[in-house]
């Protein structure tokens, strides 16, 4: 069974010169279209191998699993695998504080490390990611394969418009596009005046594919339009996004499609999980995200028990590397929210799918007066309102003993003519969310635009507690 799966080895080995038949929609036809139960059976054997590797090479996993009474050799069923305790970000931070800089879950020799990346550290101590040289090649292969699935082909120009620094998104997209023998334009993002220059370069090079965060694509469209350039003139065909919800938020997706005239593809798990594109839509199944289960094992779990929920249900993604030998993540808890299904995909791949993408983080969900509000719901709603100026902010504060939610949105309506907009949008939001909303409008182009991931929620209740 495993033997038929193309290049199915641990540690992974891929022929660096391989390219599929140009007419094939699949990079690895068998792996991508095989009976999912057969694939899962091969993955189960692999999970044991990865766990044996991690147990024998890292104190972190040995200590954690010994304490939980888990032995890699006992993982003979998915039920057994679901008993493996999840890894949390807090544990990784602690491991790195005690064993700097990479933690005691670094499973390869430090001479093997090829790239160091990390979290930005804006919300706490940064975490360092160490990626081995061989792992980097394998990541590039995986991403090339997924890009092929999106319809990107050798010789296509791929424009990468995300930060080239600690952030793994841009580097991972670059590695995949290079392995696919594309022409890559590693443009970057984030420097002064860079968005206007991106407009010039896009108009000049007319790339086929484009990678960024969804909020940055909307920002770019605004800048192009302010310079009198229709973003459709860039001729982009495939725009793939990761880093935050957006590409699967219907109104955001439509805004990007309308602005650029391109197919929007959602992808991305977590930086720790690089190859992070293992959850990704395809040209033939452009909506939602497919879970490429032979690259990373994706589970959608109950957030308390961390047992998988049935297909059709909501839960939190838990991820396991099947090919990483440096810092392999085995049951990494994401704290995100999603829903998964297993149904026939138009592209013919037999992977499960997240039909609505990843729609929020458990800790970003606003709990207010007994209701749960997803910031993406507000975004989706506002984008459908005529006269919306393109950006907004959600402020949650405590006044006396009551929590109050203020939504401040930009509008293109001139001052003095906003009453109907404010009244209708405020009451529309209120009935959608089921909580009282104080709605305010401000001039268009006055709220800050994200050059990277957007941060629209200001929860002032956190500050009052301190």
Instruction: Provide the binding-site residues for ligand 8LQ, judged by CB under 6 A.
Output: 168-169, 242-245, 266-268, 270-271, 276, 334, 336, 357-358, 361
Nearer to ligand 8LQ, 182 or 333 (CB): 333
Nearer to ligand 8LQ, 246 or 389 (CB): 246
What DSSP character marks residue 110? G
The strand pair at 289-291 and 238-241 is best described as unpaired
In our burial notation (b when 16+ CB lie closer than 10 A, e otherwise), range 36-49 reads eeebeebbbebbbe
Q: Is the CB of residue 460 less than 8 Å from the CB of residue 398?
A: yes
Nearer to ligand 8LQ, 286 or 389 (CB): 286
Helix locations, 227-374, DSSP H: 250-260
Nearer to ligand 8LQ, 170 or 411 (CB): 170
Q: Burial, 137: exposed, middle or buried (Cβ in 10 Å; 0-12, 13-18, 19+)? A: middle
The strand pair at 388-399 and 457-459 is best described as parallel
Of all residues in this chain, which one has the CB nearest to ligand 8LQ in the complex? 268
Least distance (Å) between residue 364 CB and ligand 8LQ: 8
Nearer to ligand 8LQ, 245 or 390 (CB): 245
Nearer to ligand 8LQ, 72 or 268 (CB): 268
Three-state SS for 269-297 is CCHHHCCHHHEECCCCCCCCEEECCCCEE
Least distance (Å) between residue 399 CB and ligand 8LQ: 30
Least distance (Å) between residue 45 CB and ligand 8LQ: 28
Least distance (Å) between residue 338 CB and ligand 8LQ: 8
Least distance (Å) between residue 111 CB and ligand 8LQ: 26
Question: In whole angstroms, what is the distance from residue 115 CA to residue 172 CA?
Answer: 11
Read out DSSP for 187-207? ----STTHHHHHHHHHHHH--
Least distance (Å) between residue 92 CB and ligand 8LQ: 11
């Amino acid at each position: 069974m495993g033997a038929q799966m193309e290049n199915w080895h641990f540690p992974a080995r891929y022929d660096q010169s391989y390219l599929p038949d140009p007419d094939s929609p699949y990079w690895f036809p068998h792996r991508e279209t095989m009976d999912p139960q057969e694939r899962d059976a091969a993955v189960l054997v692999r999970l044991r191998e990865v766990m044996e590797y991690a147990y024998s090479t890292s104190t972190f996993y040995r200590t954690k699993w010994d304490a939980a009474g888990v032995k890699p050799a006992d993982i003979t069923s998915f039920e057994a695998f679901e008993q493996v305790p999840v890894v949390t970000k807090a544990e990784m931070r602690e491991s790195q504080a005690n064993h700097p800089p990479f933690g005691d879950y670094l499973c390869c020799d430090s001479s093997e490390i090829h790239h160091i990346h990390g979290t930005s550290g804006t919300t706490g101590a940064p975490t360092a990611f160490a990626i081995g040289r061989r792992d980097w090649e394998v990541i590039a292969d995986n991403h090339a394969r997924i890009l092929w699935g999106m319809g990107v082909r050798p010789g296509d120009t791929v424009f990468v418009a995300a930060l080239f620094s600690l952030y793994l998104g841009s580097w991972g997209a670059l590695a995949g596009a290079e392995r696919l023998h594309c022409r890559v334009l590693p443009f970057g993002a984030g420097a002064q005046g860079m968005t206007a220059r991106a407009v010039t370069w896009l108009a000049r090079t007319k790339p086929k594919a484009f990678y960024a965060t969804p909020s940055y694509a909307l920002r770019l469209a605004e800048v192009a339009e302010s310079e009198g350039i229709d973003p459709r003139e860039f001729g982009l065909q495939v725009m793939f996004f990761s880093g935050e919800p957006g590409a699967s938020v219907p109104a955001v997706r439509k805004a990007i499609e309308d602005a650029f005239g391109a197919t929007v593809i959602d992808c991305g798990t977590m930086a720790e999980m690089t190859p992070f594109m293992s959850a990704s839509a395809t040209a033939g199944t452009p909506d939602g995200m497919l879970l490429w289960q032979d690259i990373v094992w994706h589970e959608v779990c109950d957030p308390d028990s961390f047992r998988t929920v049935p297909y059709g249900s909501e839960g939190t993604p838990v991820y396991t590397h099947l090919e990483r030998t440096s810092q392999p993540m085995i049951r990494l808890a994401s704290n995100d929210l999603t829903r998964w299904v297993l149904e026939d995909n138009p592209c013919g791949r037999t992977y499960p799918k997240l039909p609505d993408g990843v729609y929020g983080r458990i800790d970003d969900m606003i709990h207010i007066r007994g209701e749960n509000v997803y910031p993406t719901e507000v975004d989706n709603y506002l984008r459908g309102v005529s006269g919306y100026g393109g950006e907004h902010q959600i402020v949650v504060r405590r006044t006396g003993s009551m929590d109050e939610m203020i939504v401040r949105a930009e509008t293109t309506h001139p001052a003095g003519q906003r009453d109907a907009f404010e009244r209708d949008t405020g009451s529309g939001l209120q009935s959608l969310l089921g909580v009282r909303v104080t709605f305010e409008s401000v001039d268009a182009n006055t709220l800050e635009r994200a050059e990277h991931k957007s941060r629209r929620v200001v929860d002032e209740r956190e500050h009052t507690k301190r």
